[in-house]
């Protein structure tokens, strides 16, 4: 991509309306534009990151055996009356009336929709277990939308729903998502800790929130220090096998959110030097809630003995759009964002320090072509900005590698490679520069 043709409205100054660094940097890097309170447009750079995160989430859901669907954003209130949640959900639900005076709503979550789909199409225990997920926009009329996409009103969520015959089977479905979440967040460069959590309005009796530690987080959390560096299950983990050893290892050490915290247990189970009391950001949340929705909505299948059995269900959310902000909270410096490579909007930034100079333009065009041929996503700064502005833009938007090309270096066939994460700069030959990033 040539920067001269791209849409990247970078801000030089820190916007006053943004309180936390991720929100400030997302605005400065031209990733989002607020459209109304808690409602954002995703500009090209922000959208690329969102899509990368979405792709990792999708890959790990698929690996764990979940199957993708796409449910509507607008739902019928009648479904929520069946489950009994329509009144209970309260003011966070955006309620809409259509032209026929029918009550509709913009979905804040989709337990009712998926339960209805399942109820109407699955009749036998032989079709179980199943886990269906979608990555879809949600709306919650948050009382205090803030921190940019971190607490939006409209936000992108991955929500998965598992269906099993028995509570024991459902526990295995829960474990598959637990392990998938460990892998998903680690692949984004995050150290997420699963913590015993309250089930809130979703209901149920087994639940973990996946939390990353950050001073700007809205949750108060308590955990054993070793969990922050916990072992991540490998890509070839057998999701059809017994995942209890992995889950047990992670849940044997103390970790709880505020609502579930037990100060006495914390003090007895965790040595003082390993006690972490911190703020955290909730990036994912998994629930097992048994028959809470299946029972009132009549979601049953025929069991092996011919008797009808009410389905055991769980639901599993990931805040896909919140993750964009959360990753920035975890990975930035004074100059801007420092994207972990797997979620970076571009892998390489190519800086032409003397646009209009024939030799520099030709060398950059050649490098650009070679990078593209190697399948590297490059942002080529071919604008006629001064060098200082180009450096600062690349640093703000956080591209992992910068190839810096100017007439002086070219005289000896050299360019500079800058690694955004540690700021190191090295002068090397053009070939060596390419080899560093391909």
> Binding ligand ATP by CB under 6 A: which of 56, 157, 351, 410?
157
Residue 285 within binding range of Mg ion, rule CB under 5 A = yes
Nearest to 62 by CA among 188, 174, 177: 177
Strand segments, DSSP code E, in 6-55 are 32-36, 39-42
The size of the interface with Mg ion (CB under 5 A), counted in residues, is: 2
378: partner contacted, choices ligand ATP, Mg ion, none (Cβ within 5-8 A by kind):
none
Residue among 285 and 390 whose Cβ is closer to ligand ATP: 285
∠ Cα 97 101 105 (to 5°): 25
Residue 283 sits in the site that holds ligand ATP (CB under 6 A): yes
Question: Interface mask (CB under 6 A) for ligand ATP, residues 170-209, using x and -?
Answer: ------------------------------x---------
Q: Does 155 sit near ligand ATP (CB under 6 A)? A: yes
Contact 323, 317 (CB under 8 A): no
Region near ligand ATP per CB under 6 A, out of 7-15, 152-160, 238-246, 373-381: 152-160
Compute the half-sphere exposure of residue 39: CA atoms within 13 Å on the CB side of its CA.
Answer: 7
CA distances from 128 to 46, 63, 164 (A): 38, 18, 6
Indicate whether 112 belongs to the interface with ligand ATP (CB under 6 A).
no
Min. distance of Cβ 20 from Mg ion in angstroms? Answer: 18
Give me the least distance between CB of 158 and ligand ATP, in Å please: 8
Task: Compute the chain's Rg from CA coordinates.
Answer: 24
Nearest distance in Å: CB 184, Mg ion: 16
Out of 152, 314, 406, 433, the only residue in the binding site for ligand ATP (CB under 6 A) is: 152
* CB-based contact 219:197 (threshold 8 Å): no
Question: Quick one: which of 59, 103, 142, 361 contacts ligand ATP (CB under 6 A)?
Answer: 142
Nearest Cα neighbor of 423 from 392, 390, 395 is 395
Q: Does 314 bind ligand ATP (CB under 6 A)?
A: no
Strand ranges, E, within 377-424: 378-381, 401-405, 414-419
CA angle at 193 for the pair 192 and 195, rounded to the nearest 5°: 140
- Binding region for ligand ATP (CB under 6 A) out of 66-74, 184-192, 314-322, 415-423: 314-322
- Residue 151 as a binder of ligand ATP (CB under 6 A): the answer is yes
| Rounded least distance, CB 207 to Mg ion, Å | 8
Q: How far apart are CA 298 and CA 110, in angstroms?
A: 16
- CB under 6 A: which stretch of 319-327, 350-358, 392-400, 407-415 binds ligand ATP? 319-327
CB of 306 to ligand ATP, least distance (A): 37
Whole-angstrom CA distances from 341 to 26, 169, 337, 346 are 17, 37, 12, 9
Are 376 and 438 spatial neighbours (Cβ–Cβ below 8 Å)? yes
Cβ neighbors of 239 (< 8 A, separation 6 or more) are: 63, 64, 65, 176, 179, 180
Closest CA to 49 of 429, 417, 289, 320: 320
Interaction of residue 230 with ligand ATP, rule CB under 6 A: no
Quote the least distance from Cβ 184 to ligand ATP, whole Å.
12
Contact status: 42 vs ligand ATP (CB under 6 A): no
> Which one of 23-31, 249-257, 261-269, 278-286 is the stretch in contact with ligand ATP (CB under 6 A)?
278-286
User: What is the C-alpha separation between 8 and 4, in angstroms, rounded?
Assistant: 9
CB of 138 to ligand ATP, least distance (A): 7
Which positions lie near ligand ATP, rule CB under 6 A? 140, 142, 151-152, 155, 157, 200, 282-285, 317, 319, 321-322
Which positions lie near Mg ion, rule CB under 5 A? 282, 285
């Amino acid at each position: 991509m040539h920067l001269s043709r791209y849409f990247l409205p970078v801000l030089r100054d820190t916007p006053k309306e943004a309180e936390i660094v991720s929100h400030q940097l997302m605005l400065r890097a031209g990733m989002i534009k607020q459209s109304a309170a808690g409602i954002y447009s995703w500009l090209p750079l922000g959208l690329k990151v969102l899509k990368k995160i979405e792709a990792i989430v999708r890959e790990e859901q698929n690996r764990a055996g979940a199957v993708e669907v796409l449910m509507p954003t607008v739902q019928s209130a009648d479904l929520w009356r069946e489950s009994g949640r329509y009144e209970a959900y309260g003011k966070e639900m955006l309620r809409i009336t259509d032209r026929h005076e029918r009550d509709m709503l913009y979905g804040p979550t989709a337990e009712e929709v998926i339960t209805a789909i399942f109820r109407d199409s699955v009749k036998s225990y032989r079709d179980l277990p199943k886990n269906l997920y979608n990555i879809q926009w949600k709306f919650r009329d948050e009382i205090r939308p803030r921190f940019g996409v971190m607490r939006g009103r409209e936000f992108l969520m991955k929500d998965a729903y598992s269906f099993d015959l028995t509570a024991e089977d459902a526990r295995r479905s829960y474990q598959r998502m637990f392990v998938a979440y460990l892998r998903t967040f680690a692949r984004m460069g995050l150290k997420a800790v699963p913590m015993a959590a309250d089930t809130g309005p979703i209901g149920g009796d087994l639940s973990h929130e996946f939390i990353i530690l950050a001073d700007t987080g809205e949750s108060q959390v308590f955990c054993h220090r070793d969990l922050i560096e916990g072992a991540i299950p490998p890509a070839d983990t057998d999701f059809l096998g017994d995942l209890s050893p992995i889950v047990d290892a992670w849940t044997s050490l103390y970790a709880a959110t505020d609502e579930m915290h037990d100060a006495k247990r914390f003090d007895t189970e965790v040595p003082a030097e390993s006690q972490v009391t911190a703020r955290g950001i909730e990036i994912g949340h998994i629930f097992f809630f048994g028959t809470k929705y299946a029972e009132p909505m009549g979601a049953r299948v025929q069991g092996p003995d011919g008797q009808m059995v009410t389905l055991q269900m769980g639901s599993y959310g990931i805040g896909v759009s919140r993750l964009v902000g959360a990753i920035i909270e975890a990975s930035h410096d004074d100059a801007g964002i420092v994207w972990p490579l797997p979620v970076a909007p571009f892998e390489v930034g190519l800086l032409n320090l003397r646009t209009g100079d024939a030799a520099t333009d030709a060398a950059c065009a050649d490098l650009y072509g070679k990078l593209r041929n190697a399948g590297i996503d490059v942002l080529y700064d071919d604008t006629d900005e001064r060098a200082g502005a180009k450096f600062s833009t690349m640093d703000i938007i956080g591209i992992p590698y910068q190839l810096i090309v100017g007439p002086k270096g070219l005289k000896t066939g050299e360019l500079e490679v800058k690694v955004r994460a540690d700021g190191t700069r090295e002068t090397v030959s053009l070939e060596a520069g390419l080899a560093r990033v391909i």
